[in-house]
Structure 1
Protein backbone atom coordinates (compact mmCIF):
# COMPACT_ATOMS: atom_id res chain seq x y z
CA UNK A 1 0.00 0.00 0.00
CA UNK A 2 1.41 3.37 -0.96
CA UNK A 3 1.72 6.07 1.62
CA UNK A 4 -0.91 8.77 1.18
CA UNK A 5 0.69 11.83 -0.42
CA UNK A 6 -0.61 15.32 0.33
CA UNK A 7 -1.84 17.67 -2.36
CA UNK A 8 0.62 20.42 -1.37
CA UNK A 9 0.23 24.08 -0.55
CA UNK A 10 -2.73 24.46 -2.90
CA UNK A 11 -4.91 22.66 -0.36
CA UNK A 12 -4.20 25.02 2.52
CA UNK A 13 -7.12 27.21 1.49
CA UNK A 14 -9.30 24.37 0.19
CA UNK A 15 -11.09 22.46 2.92
CA UNK A 16 -14.42 20.86 3.62
CA UNK A 17 -14.77 23.23 6.60
CA UNK A 18 -12.03 23.58 9.20
CA UNK A 19 -13.01 24.84 12.64
CA UNK A 20 -11.67 25.03 16.20
CA UNK A 21 -12.02 21.72 18.04
CA UNK A 22 -13.15 21.04 21.59
CA UNK A 23 -12.69 17.98 23.77
CA UNK A 24 -16.01 16.18 24.21
CA UNK A 25 -16.69 12.73 25.61
CA UNK A 26 -18.51 10.64 23.00
CA UNK A 27 -21.45 8.38 23.65
CA UNK A 28 -20.13 4.86 23.03
CA UNK A 29 -23.12 2.62 23.70
CA UNK A 30 -23.63 0.40 20.62
CA UNK A 31 -26.90 0.82 18.73
CA UNK A 32 -28.58 -2.05 16.90
CA UNK A 33 -29.52 -1.29 13.29
CA UNK A 34 -32.20 -2.81 11.11
CA UNK A 35 -30.48 -3.95 7.93
CA UNK A 36 -31.96 -5.71 4.92
CA UNK A 37 -31.50 -9.48 5.08
CA UNK A 38 -28.13 -10.73 3.80
CA UNK A 39 -26.65 -7.22 3.82
CA UNK A 40 -24.18 -5.75 6.33
CA UNK A 41 -23.13 -2.28 7.44
CA UNK A 42 -19.67 -0.72 7.80
CA UNK A 43 -19.13 2.67 9.42
CA UNK A 44 -15.95 4.66 8.67
CA UNK A 45 -14.74 8.15 9.53
CA UNK A 46 -11.75 9.33 7.53
CA UNK A 47 -12.00 13.06 6.99
CA UNK A 48 -14.65 14.92 5.03
CA UNK A 49 -17.58 12.60 4.32
CA UNK A 50 -17.87 13.92 0.77
CA UNK A 51 -14.60 12.08 0.07
CA UNK A 52 -15.37 8.75 1.68
CA UNK A 53 -18.86 8.66 0.19
CA UNK A 54 -17.51 9.16 -3.36
CA UNK A 55 -14.90 6.42 -2.93
CA UNK A 56 -17.25 3.70 -1.68
CA UNK A 57 -20.01 4.46 -4.20
CA UNK A 58 -17.63 3.16 -6.89
CA UNK A 59 -17.54 -0.38 -5.48
CA UNK A 60 -19.46 -3.40 -6.66
CA UNK A 61 -21.47 -4.89 -3.82
CA UNK A 62 -22.01 -1.54 -2.12
CA UNK A 63 -25.77 -0.95 -2.03
CA UNK A 64 -25.79 2.51 -0.44
CA UNK A 65 -23.52 5.06 1.20
CA UNK A 66 -24.94 7.63 3.61
CA UNK A 67 -22.96 10.61 4.87
CA UNK A 68 -23.56 11.53 8.49
CA UNK A 69 -22.35 12.11 12.02
CA UNK A 70 -21.33 9.65 14.73
CA UNK A 71 -19.47 9.37 18.01
CA UNK A 72 -20.56 12.63 19.63
CA UNK A 73 -22.42 13.69 22.74
CA UNK A 74 -25.67 15.18 21.41
CA UNK A 75 -28.62 13.86 19.43
CA UNK A 76 -29.50 15.10 15.93
CA UNK A 77 -26.43 17.28 15.35
CA UNK A 78 -26.37 19.75 12.46
CA UNK A 79 -23.51 20.32 10.05
CA UNK A 80 -22.87 23.76 11.53
CA UNK A 81 -22.61 22.32 15.06
CA UNK A 82 -20.31 19.48 14.00
CA UNK A 83 -18.13 21.85 11.94
CA UNK A 84 -17.60 24.09 14.98
CA UNK A 85 -16.32 21.11 16.94
CA UNK A 86 -19.11 21.57 19.48
CA UNK A 87 -20.55 18.06 19.45
CA UNK A 88 -17.70 15.54 19.43
CA UNK A 89 -19.14 13.87 16.33
CA UNK A 90 -17.03 12.72 13.40
CA UNK A 91 -18.04 13.11 9.79
CA UNK A 92 -18.55 9.53 8.65
CA UNK A 93 -20.15 7.27 6.09
CA UNK A 94 -22.47 4.36 6.74
CA UNK A 95 -21.97 1.76 4.02
CA UNK A 96 -24.54 -0.95 3.35
CA UNK A 97 -22.97 -3.79 1.38
CA UNK A 98 -23.46 -7.33 0.16
CA UNK A 99 -20.75 -9.51 1.78
CA UNK A 100 -21.15 -12.06 -1.02
CA UNK A 101 -19.78 -9.48 -3.45
CA UNK A 102 -17.39 -7.46 -1.29
CA UNK A 103 -16.14 -8.28 2.18
CA UNK A 104 -15.78 -6.04 5.20
CA UNK A 105 -12.01 -6.64 4.99
CA UNK A 106 -11.93 -5.36 1.41
CA UNK A 107 -13.84 -2.23 2.41
CA UNK A 108 -11.38 -1.74 5.25
CA UNK A 109 -8.43 -2.07 2.88
CA UNK A 110 -9.87 0.62 0.60
CA UNK A 111 -10.66 2.86 3.58
CA UNK A 112 -7.03 2.83 4.70
CA UNK A 113 -5.76 3.24 1.12
CA UNK A 114 -7.75 6.42 0.51
CA UNK A 115 -7.05 8.53 3.59
CA UNK A 116 -4.10 9.21 5.90
CA UNK A 117 -4.52 7.27 9.16
CA UNK A 118 -1.37 8.80 10.68
CA UNK A 119 -2.62 12.39 11.10
CA UNK A 120 -4.50 13.06 14.33
CA UNK A 121 -7.78 14.92 13.86
CA UNK A 122 -6.79 16.02 10.39
CA UNK A 123 -7.01 15.13 6.72
CA UNK A 124 -5.10 17.57 4.54
CA UNK A 125 -6.49 21.06 5.09
CA UNK A 126 -9.48 19.73 7.04
CA UNK A 127 -8.60 20.12 10.72
CA UNK A 128 -10.64 19.22 13.80
CA UNK A 129 -11.90 16.22 15.73
CA UNK A 130 -14.75 15.93 13.23
CA UNK A 131 -12.14 14.86 10.64
CA UNK A 132 -10.55 12.16 12.78
CA UNK A 133 -9.72 8.68 11.52
CA UNK A 134 -11.98 6.19 13.27
CA UNK A 135 -13.57 2.82 12.54
CA UNK A 136 -16.90 2.24 14.26
CA UNK A 137 -17.50 -1.49 14.41
CA UNK A 138 -21.03 -2.90 14.32
CA UNK A 139 -20.18 -6.36 15.68
CA UNK A 140 -17.31 -8.24 17.30
CA UNK A 141 -16.16 -9.75 14.01
CA UNK A 142 -15.66 -6.27 12.51
CA UNK A 143 -13.76 -5.25 15.64
CA UNK A 144 -11.37 -8.21 15.34
CA UNK A 145 -10.79 -7.74 11.60
CA UNK A 146 -10.08 -4.04 12.10
CA UNK A 147 -7.71 -4.51 15.02
CA UNK A 148 -5.88 -7.34 13.24
CA UNK A 149 -5.50 -5.27 10.07
CA UNK A 150 -4.14 -2.26 11.96
CA UNK A 151 -1.74 -4.56 13.81
CA UNK A 152 -0.53 -5.98 10.49
CA UNK A 153 0.02 -2.54 8.96
CA UNK A 154 1.81 -1.43 12.12
CA UNK A 155 4.13 -4.44 12.05
CA UNK A 156 4.91 -3.78 8.38
CA UNK A 157 5.30 -0.02 8.96
CA UNK A 158 2.99 0.53 5.99
CA UNK A 159 2.75 4.30 6.34
CA UNK A 160 6.17 5.00 7.82
CA UNK A 161 4.48 6.61 10.84
CA UNK A 162 2.25 5.39 13.69
CA UNK A 163 -1.40 4.75 12.83
CA UNK A 164 -3.72 6.87 14.98
CA UNK A 165 -7.03 5.42 13.78
CA UNK A 166 -9.41 4.75 16.67
CA UNK A 167 -11.51 1.59 16.82
CA UNK A 168 -14.80 2.07 18.66
CA UNK A 169 -18.21 0.45 19.04
CA UNK A 170 -20.73 2.13 16.74
CA UNK A 171 -23.23 4.33 18.57
CA UNK A 172 -26.21 5.94 16.81
CA UNK A 173 -25.48 7.24 13.33
CA UNK A 174 -27.19 10.47 12.29
CA UNK A 175 -27.59 11.01 8.51
CA UNK A 176 -26.38 14.41 7.37
CA UNK A 177 -28.54 16.99 5.66
CA UNK A 178 -29.82 16.11 2.17
CA UNK A 179 -27.43 18.46 0.36
CA UNK A 180 -24.46 16.43 1.64
CA UNK A 181 -25.70 13.17 0.13
CA UNK A 182 -24.14 12.12 -3.19
CA UNK A 183 -22.24 15.41 -3.00
CA UNK A 184 -19.36 14.61 -5.32
CA UNK A 185 -21.43 13.48 -8.29
CA UNK A 186 -23.42 16.72 -8.10
CA UNK A 187 -20.48 19.07 -7.54
CA UNK A 188 -17.49 17.68 -9.41
CA UNK A 189 -16.42 21.09 -10.74
CA UNK A 190 -16.28 22.60 -7.26
CA UNK A 191 -12.65 23.29 -6.26
CA UNK A 192 -12.62 20.99 -3.20
CA UNK A 193 -14.04 18.15 -5.29
CA UNK A 194 -11.52 18.70 -8.09
CA UNK A 195 -8.41 18.92 -5.91
CA UNK A 196 -9.26 16.54 -3.06
CA UNK A 197 -11.95 14.05 -4.02
CA UNK A 198 -11.21 13.36 -7.69
CA UNK A 199 -7.66 12.04 -6.93
CA UNK A 200 -9.12 9.62 -4.36
CA UNK A 201 -11.71 8.34 -6.83
CA UNK A 202 -9.02 7.94 -9.51
CA UNK A 203 -6.84 6.00 -7.08
CA UNK A 204 -9.64 3.53 -6.38
CA UNK A 205 -10.33 3.10 -10.08
CA UNK A 206 -6.65 2.42 -10.77
CA UNK A 207 -5.75 0.24 -7.78
CA UNK A 208 -9.00 -1.65 -7.22
CA UNK A 209 -10.25 -2.25 -10.75
CA UNK A 210 -11.57 -5.70 -9.91
CA UNK A 211 -13.85 -4.26 -7.21
CA UNK A 212 -15.56 -1.55 -9.27
CA UNK A 213 -19.17 -1.49 -10.37
CA UNK A 214 -19.50 -2.56 -13.98
Structure 2
Protein backbone atom coordinates (compact mmCIF):
# COMPACT_ATOMS: atom_id res chain seq x y z
CA UNK A 1 0.00 0.00 0.00
CA UNK A 2 1.43 3.36 -1.12
CA UNK A 3 1.51 5.63 1.94
CA UNK A 4 2.50 8.65 -0.12
CA UNK A 5 -0.53 8.20 -2.34
CA UNK A 6 -2.81 7.72 0.68
CA UNK A 7 -1.47 10.85 2.37
CA UNK A 8 -2.05 12.90 -0.75
CA UNK A 9 -5.52 11.43 -1.18
CA UNK A 10 -6.45 12.34 2.41
CA UNK A 11 -5.59 15.95 1.66
CA UNK A 12 -7.50 15.89 -1.61
CA UNK A 13 -10.66 14.38 -0.10
CA UNK A 14 -10.53 16.84 2.80
CA UNK A 15 -11.04 19.67 0.31
CA UNK A 16 -14.61 18.41 0.06
CA UNK A 17 -15.12 18.50 3.83
CA UNK A 18 -16.50 22.09 3.93
CA UNK A 19 -19.29 21.17 1.49
CA UNK A 20 -20.05 17.97 3.39
CA UNK A 21 -20.27 19.84 6.70
CA UNK A 22 -22.32 22.59 5.08
CA UNK A 23 -24.91 20.16 3.74
CA UNK A 24 -24.92 18.15 6.96
CA UNK A 25 -25.41 21.03 9.37
CA UNK A 26 -27.93 22.92 7.25
CA UNK A 27 -29.97 19.78 6.62
CA UNK A 28 -30.07 19.07 10.36
CA UNK A 29 -31.12 22.64 11.15
CA UNK A 30 -33.77 22.74 8.43
CA UNK A 31 -34.97 19.25 9.27
CA UNK A 32 -35.31 20.10 12.96
CA UNK A 33 -37.42 23.19 12.22
CA UNK A 34 -39.65 21.26 9.82
CA UNK A 35 -39.92 18.35 12.27
CA UNK A 36 -41.12 20.71 15.00
CA UNK A 37 -43.65 22.19 12.58
CA UNK A 38 -44.94 18.72 11.69
CA UNK A 39 -45.46 17.89 15.35
CA UNK A 40 -47.30 21.16 15.95
CA UNK A 41 -49.56 20.30 13.00
CA UNK A 42 -50.61 17.09 14.73
CA UNK A 43 -52.76 19.07 17.15
CA UNK A 44 -55.80 18.68 14.86
CA UNK A 45 -57.14 15.92 12.63
CA UNK A 46 -56.33 17.49 9.25
CA UNK A 47 -52.83 18.54 10.30
CA UNK A 48 -52.20 15.10 11.78
CA UNK A 49 -53.24 13.44 8.50
CA UNK A 50 -50.92 15.70 6.49
CA UNK A 51 -47.98 15.13 8.85
CA UNK A 52 -48.55 11.37 8.94
CA UNK A 53 -48.69 11.19 5.13
CA UNK A 54 -45.51 13.24 4.83
CA UNK A 55 -43.65 11.00 7.27
CA UNK A 56 -44.93 7.86 5.55
CA UNK A 57 -43.78 9.02 2.10
CA UNK A 58 -40.31 10.26 3.07
CA UNK A 59 -39.54 7.39 5.43
CA UNK A 60 -40.86 4.80 3.02
CA UNK A 61 -38.86 5.83 -0.05
CA UNK A 62 -35.07 5.79 -0.52
CA UNK A 63 -33.25 9.08 -0.11
CA UNK A 64 -31.46 8.51 -3.42
CA UNK A 65 -34.79 8.42 -5.26
CA UNK A 66 -35.89 11.58 -3.45
CA UNK A 67 -32.73 13.35 -4.60
CA UNK A 68 -33.29 12.23 -8.20
CA UNK A 69 -36.97 13.20 -8.10
CA UNK A 70 -36.12 16.72 -6.96
CA UNK A 71 -33.10 17.24 -9.21
CA UNK A 72 -34.33 15.51 -12.36
CA UNK A 73 -38.09 15.21 -11.83
CA UNK A 74 -39.08 18.78 -10.98
CA UNK A 75 -37.46 20.05 -14.17
CA UNK A 76 -40.16 18.20 -16.10
CA UNK A 77 -42.86 20.59 -14.90
CA UNK A 78 -43.16 23.72 -17.00
CA UNK A 79 -44.73 25.83 -14.27
CA UNK A 80 -41.72 25.14 -12.04
CA UNK A 81 -39.25 26.14 -14.78
CA UNK A 82 -41.14 29.39 -15.18
CA UNK A 83 -41.43 30.12 -11.46
CA UNK A 84 -39.13 32.05 -9.15
CA UNK A 85 -37.99 28.70 -7.69
CA UNK A 86 -36.25 27.57 -10.88
CA UNK A 87 -32.92 29.41 -10.27
CA UNK A 88 -32.64 27.35 -7.08
CA UNK A 89 -34.08 24.03 -8.26
CA UNK A 90 -31.77 23.85 -11.27
CA UNK A 91 -28.77 24.09 -8.97
CA UNK A 92 -27.61 20.67 -7.68
CA UNK A 93 -26.58 22.18 -4.34
CA UNK A 94 -30.06 23.45 -3.49
CA UNK A 95 -31.71 20.28 -4.79
CA UNK A 96 -29.43 18.11 -2.69
CA UNK A 97 -29.92 20.26 0.40
CA UNK A 98 -33.71 20.29 -0.05
CA UNK A 99 -33.83 16.50 -0.35
CA UNK A 100 -31.70 16.07 2.78
CA UNK A 101 -33.88 18.50 4.77
CA UNK A 102 -37.13 16.83 3.73
CA UNK A 103 -35.78 13.37 4.49
CA UNK A 104 -34.30 14.35 7.85
CA UNK A 105 -37.53 16.07 8.89
CA UNK A 106 -39.50 12.85 8.49
CA UNK A 107 -37.21 10.88 10.80
CA UNK A 108 -36.63 13.72 13.25
CA UNK A 109 -40.38 14.30 13.47
CA UNK A 110 -40.95 10.76 14.70
CA UNK A 111 -38.04 10.99 17.14
CA UNK A 112 -39.39 14.26 18.53
CA UNK A 113 -42.91 12.84 18.70
CA UNK A 114 -41.62 10.00 20.84
CA UNK A 115 -39.90 12.51 23.12
CA UNK A 116 -43.06 14.60 23.40
CA UNK A 117 -45.07 11.55 24.38
CA UNK A 118 -42.59 10.89 27.18
CA UNK A 119 -43.23 14.29 28.79
CA UNK A 120 -45.05 13.68 32.11
CA UNK A 121 -48.56 15.10 32.11
CA UNK A 122 -47.97 16.25 35.68
CA UNK A 123 -45.21 18.60 34.54
CA UNK A 124 -47.51 20.23 31.99
CA UNK A 125 -50.31 20.52 34.55
CA UNK A 126 -47.91 22.11 37.01
CA UNK A 127 -47.02 24.70 34.40
CA UNK A 128 -50.66 25.50 33.80
CA UNK A 129 -51.32 25.83 37.53
CA UNK A 130 -48.37 28.23 37.74
CA UNK A 131 -50.07 30.48 35.19
CA UNK A 132 -47.91 29.65 32.16
CA UNK A 133 -49.35 30.02 28.70
CA UNK A 134 -49.17 27.30 26.03
CA UNK A 135 -46.13 28.88 24.37
CA UNK A 136 -44.29 29.21 27.70
CA UNK A 137 -45.09 25.62 28.66
CA UNK A 138 -43.82 24.45 25.28
CA UNK A 139 -40.60 26.46 25.60
CA UNK A 140 -39.79 25.88 29.28
CA UNK A 141 -41.24 22.44 30.02
CA UNK A 142 -42.29 20.36 27.02
CA UNK A 143 -39.39 20.92 24.62
CA UNK A 144 -36.56 20.63 27.21
CA UNK A 145 -37.93 17.35 28.57
CA UNK A 146 -38.70 16.00 25.09
CA UNK A 147 -35.20 16.92 23.93
CA UNK A 148 -33.59 14.97 26.78
CA UNK A 149 -35.77 11.96 26.03
CA UNK A 150 -35.12 12.07 22.29
CA UNK A 151 -31.38 12.81 22.41
CA UNK A 152 -30.08 9.20 22.24
CA UNK A 153 -32.22 8.41 19.19
CA UNK A 154 -31.54 11.77 17.59
CA UNK A 155 -27.78 11.31 17.85
CA UNK A 156 -28.18 8.26 15.61
CA UNK A 157 -30.12 10.39 13.12
CA UNK A 158 -27.34 12.99 13.17
CA UNK A 159 -24.79 10.35 12.21
CA UNK A 160 -27.13 8.90 9.60
CA UNK A 161 -27.47 12.31 7.97
CA UNK A 162 -23.70 12.70 7.88
CA UNK A 163 -23.47 9.49 5.88
CA UNK A 164 -26.50 10.46 3.78
CA UNK A 165 -24.69 13.54 2.46
CA UNK A 166 -22.52 11.15 0.42
CA UNK A 167 -25.50 10.59 -1.90
CA UNK A 168 -25.40 14.15 -3.23
CA UNK A 169 -22.30 13.15 -5.18
CA UNK A 170 -24.70 11.41 -7.59
CA UNK A 171 -25.92 14.82 -8.79
CA UNK A 172 -22.42 16.18 -9.52
CA UNK A 173 -21.73 17.81 -6.14
CA UNK A 174 -18.08 17.47 -5.19
CA UNK A 175 -18.31 16.67 -1.52
CA UNK A 176 -15.86 14.18 0.00
CA UNK A 177 -17.54 11.23 -1.69
CA UNK A 178 -17.76 13.08 -4.99
CA UNK A 179 -14.04 13.81 -4.90
CA UNK A 180 -13.34 10.18 -4.00
CA UNK A 181 -15.46 8.93 -6.92
CA UNK A 182 -13.66 11.25 -9.33
CA UNK A 183 -10.28 10.10 -8.04
CA UNK A 184 -11.27 6.45 -8.48
CA UNK A 185 -12.23 7.08 -12.12
CA UNK A 186 -8.83 8.66 -12.69
CA UNK A 187 -6.57 6.23 -10.84
CA UNK A 188 -8.62 3.00 -10.46
CA UNK A 189 -7.22 2.63 -6.95
CA UNK A 190 -10.56 2.21 -5.25
CA UNK A 191 -9.42 0.49 -2.05
CA UNK A 192 -7.00 3.20 -0.91
CA UNK A 193 -9.31 6.05 -1.90
CA UNK A 194 -12.44 4.65 -0.29
CA UNK A 195 -10.44 3.78 2.81
CA UNK A 196 -9.36 7.42 3.14
CA UNK A 197 -12.95 8.64 2.79
CA UNK A 198 -14.24 6.04 5.26
CA UNK A 199 -11.69 7.05 7.89
CA UNK A 200 -12.72 10.71 7.66
CA UNK A 201 -16.41 9.86 8.03
CA UNK A 202 -15.56 7.53 10.91
CA UNK A 203 -13.64 10.24 12.78
CA UNK A 204 -16.51 12.72 12.42
CA UNK A 205 -19.00 10.08 13.58
CA UNK A 206 -16.85 9.33 16.61
CA UNK A 207 -16.73 13.03 17.53
CA UNK A 208 -20.53 13.26 17.23
CA UNK A 209 -20.95 10.18 19.43
CA UNK A 210 -18.66 11.64 22.10
CA UNK A 211 -20.39 15.02 21.97
CA UNK A 212 -23.80 13.38 22.24
CA UNK A 213 -22.73 11.32 25.26
CA UNK A 214 -21.34 14.44 26.95
CA UNK A 215 -24.52 16.42 26.25
CA UNK A 216 -26.68 13.58 27.55
CA UNK A 217 -24.72 13.56 30.81
CA UNK A 218 -25.08 17.33 31.13
CA UNK A 219 -28.83 17.24 30.53
CA UNK A 220 -29.50 14.19 32.71
CA UNK A 221 -26.83 14.17 35.45
CA UNK A 222 -28.99 12.14 37.83
CA UNK A 223 -28.86 9.17 35.46
CA UNK A 224 -25.07 9.06 35.67
CA UNK A 225 -24.64 9.31 39.42
CA UNK A 226 -23.44 12.90 39.52
CA UNK A 227 -24.80 16.42 39.78
CA UNK A 228 -24.26 19.34 37.44
CA UNK A 229 -21.67 21.80 38.84
The normalised TM-score by structure 1 is 0.25
More helix by share: 2
More strand by proportion, 1 or 2?
Answer: 1
Which structure has the larger Rg over C-alpha atoms? Answer: 2
State the TM-score, normalized to the length of structure 2. Answer: 0.24
Higher relative contact order (CA 8 A, sep 6+): 1
